[in-house]
Amino acid sequence: MEWGMKNRLSKLIQSDGKALFLPIDHGYFQGPTTKLERPGETIKPLVEYADAIMLTRGVLRNCVDPKINKPIILRVSGGASVVGEDLANETIITSINEIIRLNASAVSMSIFIGSNYEHQTLKNLAKLVDICEDYGVPVMAVTAVGRELEKRTARYLGLCCRIAAELGARVVKTYYCEEDFAKVVNGCPVPVVIAGGPKVTSQFEVFNFVYDGLQQGAIGVNLGRNIWQTQNPVAAIRAIRAIIHENYTAKEANELFNKIVAEKE
Ligand code: R5P
């Protein structure tokens, strides 16, 4: 592996082999998502606890202080919206010149396997890998399901993660599933991070799936709404960080969460 690629990956995946990515890219197809109306304000108290932030160039340029000392994962696929015909109809939306100019440590793009746009999004991924490898920029593939959340089974996610890795992704982001998540990770030759999905009802539920996902081989998370859409985002991210980087159990993380909330965020 080239020095530049190694260096960028080492900024994302910490020396313990783990990672906590904080995504705020949801506006690229959802518009001003709840609690991301002013993304720069949302991340201010959270950023110190994240290993990297994931966002589009528009939010990066307009809402994030360039003096930020966290690596940037630039979302570079898009072209569809929640009110359009099909969320899967994505293309590459950012040039390599822009990726370098913005000093991105990695880029991310969605693939929609099993959708009408499977071929197109897989071609997007392969093309992006070809472009980015020349510059030592790692590509994180996002195994997206659009509105079909029921697709999140080990069989489907395992298929998606493996294909993403085969096409050259250096990291894969996928959903956690309760049954056989280890099979998803074991079938994927590159590191896997867990996405959060829509906000769940209890914080303990989040701590449980993050803990279990890590036990089954994931290296960390790329978790958004279940942090910044919650009532206590700082307590949430600190508790999740403790699971990832300090080997806390879900129960210990929940205790930490309650303690921070009691002390007032
Ligand atoms: C959404 O499409 C984005 O790619 C998000 O980065 C991803 O879904 C993770 O965020 P959340 O934990 O809110 O699902």
Q: For residue range 54-80, what is the model confidence (pLDDT) as tens digits?
A: 999 999 999 999 999 999 999 999 999
Q: What pLDDT score was predicted for residue 104?
A: 98
Does residue 52 lie within any of the structural domains?
yes
Identify the band that residue 150 occupies on the pLDDT scale cut at 50, 70 and 90.
confident
The answer to whether 181 touches 213, Cβ cutoff 8 Å, is yes
Q: Which residues are catalytic?
A: 173
Does residue 165 lie within any of the structural domains?
yes
The CATH number given to whatever domain includes residue 180 is 3.20.20.70
Average pLDDT along the chain: 96
Does residue 223 lie within any of the structural domains?
no
Q: How many domains does the chain have?
A: 1
Does residue 261 lie within any of the structural domains?
no
Does residue 257 lie within any of the structural domains?
no
Does residue 206 lie within any of the structural domains?
no
Domain residue limits at 144: 3-199
Q: What pLDDT score was predicted for residue 207?
A: 97
- 16 CA to middle of ligand 1, Å? 24
Query: What percentage of residues in the chain have a pLDDT greater than 70?
Result: 98
Name beta bridge partners: 141.
109, 172
- Residue having the nearest C-alpha atom to atom 14 of ligand 1: 197
| pTM (two decimals) | 0.96
Does residue 242 lie within any of the structural domains?
no
- 69 CA to middle of ligand 1, Å? 22
Ligand 1 site residues (CB inside 6 A) read: 23, 25-26, 54, 142, 195-197, 222-226
Does residue 119 lie within any of the structural domains?
yes
